[in-house]
Structure 1
Amino acid sequence: MSSGGPKTMSSRSSGPYDGTFHQHLIDHGIYPNRYRYPDGRRLPPPANLEDIRSALRRPLPASLQPSEELFDEFQQATADATKECHVMMDVMPLIEGNPSSRALPEVVTTLVDSWSLEGNFGSFCEGIAACRNGRDWAKRQRDLAIAYANKTVAAREQPPTRWEERWVVAQP
């Protein structure tokens, strides 16, 4: 005999604090900050860590500086956010500003620095600048990587020179 009550089904979601998710990232070469290999070796810091820090510290142009009003909106949004989805919908757009591309970064593996966005207006502005500068820096890095890849592919697709054609034909 059935209890007659409603049956509920739950599905488990995976997120950044879930051990399975964490292990999945490691298994695919995406390591958390301060990760140690099973044999105890640590990952080296990025070779360009100082360049990254320098890019994040750059002041924003005056037209992109956060306002006291944005700081107030941010504080209210973080106070109201009770779930991760609220943070993603309500808080992150305030931090990101209006990026020209909504392409998401793929991997973040090293703690470069930290800023308290809730502490005071000055640290809020520094944190916003670092976030936006980081996004812009990452886009420049992606653009450079894409340009390099395109150049490499284009070089491979060049028709052989007359000398190369003769060399290939002359081979037994």
Structure 2
Amino acid sequence: MVSARNIQLVQGDITEQETDVVVNAANSSLLGGGGVDGAIHRKGGPEILADCRALRASKYGRGLPTGQAVATTAGRLPAKWVVHTVGPVWSKDEDRSDLLAACHSNSLQVADSLGAKTIAFPAISTGIFRWPVKSAAEIALTTVLATETSSITAVRFVLFDAAAFEVFNDALTELLRE
């Protein structure tokens, strides 16, 4: 299990992370898109798209369901693998927190099954899916700390801007106090 001292927060570009696994906040088609998904596909190159197409042709013909996770090559990224997960769209009328938590726990389980030691997460669902960053940070950090793994030794959250970094830092500080 990952402890709080094995969690790193960095402000930066997830496509530049030298970790075993980079988590992609994918769209359900697995065929690329905007935000983190588009950046990973663009920088990772055609190998990632080829693996995603193979997944669509076999197991995920209707797309990857929200909260589930699946691995592909990392192509030209400095990571070894990309774990794709589809985050939920935030709703003020329906609590979808369990789906956001599942994105994190399932990504960790897939990475663990690959024998990965290090994994980098973006702030899943906080972009176009409009999940409030404070809530996303609390769910992500709590879930990572509660998910049992055998090979993961370090979890990095890569936050694109200073505002998200601050929110995740505050959430981690609060968890460390508990």
More helix by share: 1
More strand by share: 2
Q: TM-score, normalised by structure 2?
A: 0.25
Greater Rg by CA: 1
Higher relative contact order (CA 8 A, sep 6+): 2
Q: TM-score, normalised by structure 1?
A: 0.26
